[in-house]
Amino acid sequence: MMEDHRSADETNENSVKTSQQEREQEEELQRLLVPDIHDLPLTPPSAVQSNFVSYFAPDFIKPGHDQYVYRHANGLCVIGLAPTHVAFKDEGGVTAVDFNVGKSDRSGMKVTGKRKKNAQHFESNTALCKVCTKDASYIVRCCVKGSLLEVNDRLIKQPGLLNSSSDREGYIAIIMPKPADWLKFKVSLLGLEEYKKLREV
């Protein structure tokens, strides 16, 4: 029973009514909140699956450099390493990630404001970072032409995220392409099913 928060001046009748109203409110709430488990799927779709469309760029520039592009309904693209990327084939997997490639350290840039004015504009083949394994290192590129909004700087301290969850917490960067650029680029990408077939996954 919830407490009546009103002043002591309220009549008994009003107090009772309020408590009753509150009780009814509680009951209604309970009824509404608890779902019918028969309506629930065994395994629900993931947040990525629900909110993004997944595309793949196999052999991007170099053979074996398979990358993914998750596109959100709002136009933003999350770039990352697809599970068949050659870096994962090396023993021990990814050991380090370095954003200091090309002309600047990508992890140092700061984008501010709604208009994202000082974001750097990158081409599709611009280097985002270098991913190192025990034996080799691989360049990860933008994939889609656009403004770089963010890089996943957590990878600096936790490069293992690429090994455990490259499709989620191990993403590389977030790019904002112009609508026209996206349309041009989209045609060269594969959907999930096509990609799986290609790589026989």
Partner 1 sequence: MPDETEAPQVLNDQEEAHISSDAGDDEKQVFSDAVRQLPPHAVKDLLSVGVCTRCILRLFGIRGKIYPSSSLSPSILCAVLGEPTNADKHMVENGVQTNEGSGSHHASKELDVEPVFCSICLGILQFIYRDDKGMLVKKNSANNLAASIAELVKREGHHIDNFSLEVSIPPIVLENEHAVWLYMKRKYGSECWFGEKFHSDHISAKDALKNSIASPIETLLDVQSGLSSFRIRLTYSHTKASKMIQNFIQGIEGCKRRKQGTDDVFNTVDGSVVAGVECPDFSSSEADAVIQGSFNALQDHEYSERFKFPPEKVNEPCCLTSLCYRTPIYFGGRYLKYSRNVSQTRWIIDDERMGEASVEEILGSNILSMCQGDNYKFHAAGREDIDVRMLGSGRPFLVEIQNARHVPSEAFIKEIEVKINNLENKLVRVKNLKVVGSQGWTLMREGEAEKQKQYTALVWISRQLEDADMQTVSSLKEMRILQRTPIRVLHRRSPLEREKIIHWMKIERIAGSSQYFLLHLCTQAGTYIKEFVHGDLGRTHPSIGSILGCRVEILQLDVTDVKMDCFLTE
As beta bridge partners, residue 127 has 141
Distances, alpha carbon 35 to alpha carbons 25, 28, 41, 46, in Å: 18, 13, 12, 19
Instruction: Write out the H or E segment, with its range, that includes residue 196.
Output: helix 192-199
Q: Cα–Cα distance between 37 and 24 in angstroms, integer?
A: 24
Residues constituting the chain: 201
Instruction: Pick the closest to residue 175 from 133, 103, 123, 99 (CA basis).
Output: 123
- Which C-beta is closer to partner 1: that of 78 or that of 82? 78
CB of residue 33 to partner 1, shortest distance in Å: 5
**At closest approach, how far in Å is the CB of 42 from partner 1?**
9
Q: Which residues bind partner 1 (CB under 8 A)?
A: 6, 25, 28-29, 32-35, 37, 40, 43-48, 51, 72, 74-76, 78, 111-114, 116, 149-150, 152, 154, 161, 168-169, 171, 174, 176
Closest to partner 1 by CB, 39 vs 200, is: 39
143 Ramachandran zone, left/alpha/beta (phi>0; psi -120 to 50): left
| Nearest distance in Å: CB 135, partner 1 | 27
Q: Select 43 or 200, whichever has its Cβ closest to partner 1.
A: 43
Nearer to partner 1, 57 or 78 (CB): 78
**Least Å from the CB of residue 199 to partner 1:** 23
